Amino acid sequence: MDTRNLLRTFTRVAASPLPLPGLLALSGQKVILPFYHAVSDDPPPHLRHVLKTRDTRTFRHDLDWLCRHFEPIDAPTLEEIATGRRAPTRPSFHLSFDDGLKEAATIIAPLLKERGIPATFFLNTGFIGQRDLFFRFRVSVLISRLDATGETARKKAATLLAGKGILAPTLREQLLAVDYPRREMTGEVAPLLGVDFDAYLRNHPIYLEEEDIGHLLRQGFTLGGHGLDHPLFREVPPEEQLRQAMESTLWLRERFGVKQLLFSFPFSDEEVGAAFFRRVHPPEGEISLTFGISGLKKEAFPRHLHRIPMEKGDLSARSLIKEEYLYFLLKAPAGRNTIHRL
């Protein structure tokens, strides 16, 4: 286990008995941004091997705990706080959900409406309406087929991936190692494993349709872009980064009249340079807020905010949030809570 993971493990254990109000007061961080992807009691094949989704019972418990200790705020209020036009009067949270999955409309939104919790749903606009399948979800579908596939076909698939430099001890690990630049390999492997991705999407409509998006907006939720096809930004050149961010957010304005443009980075904002933020944020750009996934962090760009990943196995919201606060405090003396970009 590396040093960072050791520190995380220690922090998780040490944070458990500590009172949350004390952690809040010492950190000075009143606003948290928890995020999820999906909520499902029976994770489907496209999620099963790549995401640790919450079941509805655990998600309800998360919401109950968050609402006991933090006030839910909407995206316009969050922007006012980020830009210094408003100070949070009490500890607050804004929820968000990535990838534009069908569960946003069928499971998540009803649970949020029950409690009056606002939220933002970030969409991969290239996938809306089942137009394509995210390559990581393709990988999960392929892994789900491994046990039903003969040894000869599995060996052919492993050889095909190895020929593209994707090397690992097992075919499962090879598939999990497929990255964005080599995402088309999923389509080459699929016939060998008896998978038809078009048929899968027809039989399992996993993404929101435009009518779902309209309904979410009418219910008062906010929507943002999450890229066109979910690239890891450090793997694409700067101009492609800008295209992915701008086209996925402007699509929402053009199709639905969304006024507040929001964008969350697919995977991570790691290694994204300062020039990107200068070009997309006001006054030069039009995206009001952008979001990373580094937990409690400060940024040189006030309109770039960091969210807390909440899908970490069986860990509760209480455990994850308290761990995040203590981790922030432990890093403070070394000046490691602010991200500086070149």
Break the chain into its structural domains and give their ranges: 3-132+203-339, 146-194
DSSP letters for 170-186: SHHHHHHT--GGGTTHH
Q: Classify 313 as helix, strand or coil.
A: coil
Question: What CATH class does 3-132+203-339 carry?
Answer: alpha beta
Contact predicate 211/204, CB 8 Å:
no
What integer pLDDT is reported at residue 27 of this predicted model? Answer: 96
For 76-122, the DSSP string reads: HHHHHHHTTS---SS-EE-EEEES-BTHIIIIIHHHHHHHT--EEEE
Predicted local distance difference test score (pLDDT) of residue 188: 97
Q: For residue 65, what is the enclosing H or E element?
A: helix 56-69
pTM of the model as a whole: 0.96
pLDDT, one tens digit per residue, over 251-291 is 999 999 999 999 999 999 999 999 999 999 999 999 999 99
Residue 40 has pLDDT above 80, yes or no: yes
The predicted-structure confidence for 301-322, as pLDDT tens digits, reads as follows: 999 999 999 999 889 999 999 9
- pLDDT digit string (tens) for 203-242? 999 999 999 999 999 999 999 999 999 999 999 999 999 9
String of b and e for 138-177 (b: at least 16 CB within 10 Å)? bbbbbbbbbeebeeebbebbbeebeeeebeeeebbebbbe
Mean pLDDT computed over 22-36: 97
